[in-house]
Structure 1
Amino acid sequence: MPEKYSTIQKDFYRESGIWLSRFQIWKKCISPNLHFIYILRKAQQFKKNSLGGIFWRIILRHFQIKYGFQIYPETTIGEGFYLGHWGSLVINPNVVIGKNCNIAQGVTIGQQNRGKNSGYPVIGDEVWIGTNAVVVGGITIGNNVLIAPNSYVTFSVPANCVVAGNPAKIMENENATEGYIGNKVIL
């Protein structure tokens, strides 16, 4: 049985809390962050070497440069993805991001090349990552985690926590993302 709403509709629902038609989604694409998400999801729908895949990857590359988002079709991103603002943003193609996640401008989510945490982050569901935060290494960020602006995270974080500081410190909080992640897509 096909799903009632597409991944793109679920992403756009996070912005407005309203289920949008294809035409309404196009109207919302005037916003750079939503426009980029639309193009990214289109590029993810096609195999890399297919005609559609090549077309959407060329379009995506143009808008990566224009908007400053360095997110690739190979990045695994769950439904309900939300970019709060547009501007410099880097996410390694091997990163895994869960459902209903928010990422602000200036964030870097990348690999660590050596040491005990070499590898790429895996980010759970309902995670909010604030402005200029850095999350690197083969670490896991649990569900319902808020990573405060300017935090530097190089270690795994359990679910239901707030992480803040440089070096970052973990504070348990059952309502870590309450008020930060709106219009959740019920999954």
Structure 2
Amino acid sequence: MPRSIIQKDFYRESGKWLSGLQIMTKCINPNLHFIYILRKAQKYRKVPLMSIFWKLILRHYQIKYGYQIYPETEIGEGFYIGHFGALVINPKVKIGKNCNIAQGVTIGQQNRGKNAGVPVIGNEVWIGTNAVIVGGITIGDNVLIAPNAYVNFDVPSHSVVVGNPGTIYHSEAATEGYINHKI
């Protein structure tokens, strides 16, 4: 039986496949609740009345939880928000599958200069608390962005980025132990 994207997102939290009822009971967790609402808004983006309904619900929870993530944002399956707290992600950003994002993260647009644009983030990327990722850059697969890092440059796959300004260190096991229950 094929799994829904919501089931894949919720699998990342516990490592267990959940039924619809079990998913609803897990929605007591604000992070999972927001992901559930976000995925519904994404699913019904092109269905006129349902789109309006889910966008209104999403807007309510954006304000309530402090997550600025929009239905237009392309986010792969297995998305995981690690901790409750403010998040800002530009609607044009692309995020791969099995990505973790901690509180205080900003992933945004740069309006001028050689890196004008928005980031494209690969698969299995772990983004630590208060990290800032800006500009028309590419983050590869299996990348760990340390807490408080500032990233406005391309990051190759299998890397760890630390500091402000960020410094890249090669690591084949960059996210090992950081990203659990991959799908």
Matched, 1:68 2:66: yes
TM-score (norm 1): 0.97
Matched, 1:85 2:120: no
**Alignment counterpart, residue 22 of structure 2, candidates 24, 29, 32:** 24
Distance 1:41 1:12 in 2: 11
Distance 1:146 1:129 in 2: 6
Distance 1:69 1:159 in 2: 27
CA displacement at 1:86 relative to structure 2: 1.4
CA displacement at 1:49 relative to structure 2: 5.9
After TM superposition, what 4+ stretches of structure 1 lie above 6 angstroms from structure 2? none
Deviation string 1:30-85 (CA, Å, 9 cap, x unpaired) is: 00000000000000001356111110000000000000000000000000000001
1:123 equivalent in structure 2: 121
Distance 2:159 2:153 in 1: 13
Q: Look up the SS of the partner of 1:74 in the other structure.
A: coil
Distance 1:25 1:80 in 2: 14
Q: Look up the SS of the partner of 1:170 in the other structure.
A: strand
2:111 equivalent in structure 1: 113
2:97 equivalent in structure 1: 99
Q: CA RMSD in A?
A: 0.8
**Alignment counterpart, residue 173 of structure 1, candidates 171, 174, 178:** 171
Q: Which runs of 5+ in 2 are unaligned?
A: none
Q: Look up the SS of the partner of 1:8 in the other structure.
A: helix
Q: How many residues align?
A: 183
Structure 1 letter corresponding to 2:51: G
1:51 equivalent in structure 2: 49
Distance 1:38 1:131 in 2: 22
Distance 2:109 2:35 in 1: 22
Distance 1:166 1:49 in 2: 43
Distance 2:78 2:131 in 1: 20
**Alignment counterpart, residue 140 of structure 1, candidates 131, 138, 141:** 138
Q: Is the 8 A contact 2:131 2:150 kept in 1?
A: yes
Structure 1 letter corresponding to 2:13: E
Q: Which runs of 5+ in 1 are unaligned?
A: none
**Alignment counterpart, residue 35 of structure 1, candidates 10, 25, 33:** 33
Indicate how the Cα distance of structure 1 residues 33 and 119 shifts in structure 2: closer, same or farther if over 3 A, else same: same
